[in-house]
């Protein structure tokens, strides 16, 4: 009886657009749903540094290198905000990292594709950050306070990321025929994986029902995917590149672009750990985590010393 009343009060708060804060009562399933989604989002930000990190030492100019470095550092920061938001739900960062490294927790499928040329830095910024923004702008209105506030900050930085990628693509598309071909090739390889970032169709998405009821997700996978496609088609036209989808066509009646079907076998293969770079990404994460153990130990020792000093004073 007590729980039913609490549940009703909780849903009434959600319906009235009142944010849920860490110390508020929340159903166990809501908490678990958020722990899963926010931690997976954090893992994506951190693993997402690897494909771009691959090009720091090979950037074609000092300016390009500085911009790329700043962008990748931002992603580390996004991971920090998101792990902190996830930790407010009573699970430690160590537990989340353990789930990532053991393969229990997912991260975005997109980061399991290799970055083969400099044009891929353009494609990642333009398409991957572009897709991330569409999703994250929507998540700014998510019902959990700490997640929503992290999203507000992240979105401000993400729009710069999208523009830096688009600038690379625009420059290459207007360069020599070889450069234009590289840009087109990067678009060809990154288009479908970017569309897959939005997840399975709503009809195949087990988490969407609760996510919408609890206003964790404000728009569904298919709605966000459509938004991204509608926005991006025109951007490709402006720089003279062709989106690799023969079914892409403006639909006057719907007021949206129609588009082709994704290769769902490929999607689930990558999500389940068998994409081109899954093993490489996780091995690199484990190595970096182990190599950095001494930094975490030193930080804890320092914090303890500071605490002791305060107690003595």
Per CB under 6 A, residues contacting ligand FAQ are 36-37, 40-41, 44-45, 48, 75, 106, 108-109, 124, 128-129, 132, 135, 196-200, 205-208, 211, 221, 271
Closer of 37 and 143 to ligand FAQ (Cβ): 37
Minimum CB distance to ligand FAQ smaller for 87 or for 129: 129
DSSP calls for 169-180:
HHHHHTS-HHHH
Helix (H) or strand (E) holding 251: strand 249-251
Distance between alpha carbon 173 and the CA centroid of its chain, in Å?
A: 26
Task: Write down the least CB distance from residue 136 to ligand FAQ, Å.
Answer: 7
Residue 83 contacts residue 56 (beta carbons within 8 Å): no
- Vertex 228 angle, CA 224 and 232, to 5°: 175
User: Which of 184/225 has CB closer to ligand FAQ?
Assistant: 225
**Phi, psi torsion values for 4, nearest 5 degrees:** -65, -40
User: For residue 194, which of 235, 156, 153, 154 has the smallest C-alpha distance?
Assistant: 235
Torsion of CA 196, 201, 202, 205, to 10 degrees: -80
Distance (Å, whole) CA 209 – CA 201: 12
d(CA 88, CA 210): 20
Q: Smallest gap, in angstroms, from Cβ of residue 117 to ligand FAQ?
A: 17
Which residue in this structure is represented by tokens 């964790």?
216
Given the complex with ligand FAQ, which of 38 and 172 has the nearer CB atom?
38
Q: How far is the CB of 63 from ligand FAQ (least distance, A)?
A: 20
Question: Residue 209 CB, nearest distance to ligand FAQ (Å)?
Answer: 9
| Closest to ligand FAQ by CB, 186 or 196 | 196
Q: Quick one: DSSP state of residue 22? A: T
- Shortest Å distance, C-beta 207 to ligand FAQ: 3
Of residues 7 and 268, the one with the C-beta less far from ligand FAQ: 268
């Amino acid at each position: 009886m007590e729980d039913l009343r609490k549940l009703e009060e909780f849903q009434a708060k959600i319906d009235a657009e009142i944010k849920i804060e860490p110390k508020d009562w929340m159903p166990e399933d809501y908490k678990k749903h958020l722990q899963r989604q926010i931690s997976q989002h954090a893992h994506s930000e951190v693993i997402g540094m690897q494909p771009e990190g691959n090009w720091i030492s090979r950037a074609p100019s000092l300016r390009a290198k500085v911009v790329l470095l700043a962008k990748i550092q931002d992603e580390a920061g996004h991971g920090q905000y998101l792990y902190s938001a996830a930790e407010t739900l009573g699970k430690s960062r160590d537990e989340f990292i353990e789930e990532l490294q053991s393969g229990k927790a997912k991260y975005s499928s997109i980061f399991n594709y290799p970055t083969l040329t400099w044009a891929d830095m353009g494609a990642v910024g333009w398409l991957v950050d572009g897709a991330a923004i569409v999703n994250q702008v929507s998540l700014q209105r998510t019902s959990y306070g700490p997640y929503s506030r992290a999203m507000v900050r992240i979105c401000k930085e993400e729009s710069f990321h999208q523009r830096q990628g688009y600038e690379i693509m625009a420059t290459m598309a207007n360069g020599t025929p070889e450069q234009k071909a590289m840009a087109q090739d990067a678009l060809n390889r990154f288009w479908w994986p970017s569309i897959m970032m939005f997840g399975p169709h709503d009809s195949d998405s087990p988490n969407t029902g609760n996510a919408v009821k609890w206003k964790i997700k404000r728009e569904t996978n298919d709605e966000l995917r459509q938004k991204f496609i509608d926005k991006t088609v025109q951007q490709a036209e402006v720089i003279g590149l062709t989106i690799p989808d023969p079914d892409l066509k403006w639909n006057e009646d719907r007021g949206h672009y129609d588009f082709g079907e994704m290769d769902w076998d490929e999607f689930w293969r990558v999500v389940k750990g068998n994409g081109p770079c899954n093993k490489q990404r996780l091995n690199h994460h484990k190595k970096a985590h182990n190599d950095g153990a001494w930094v975490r130990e030193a930080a804890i020792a320092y914090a303890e010393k500071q605490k002791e000093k305060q107690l003595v004073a």
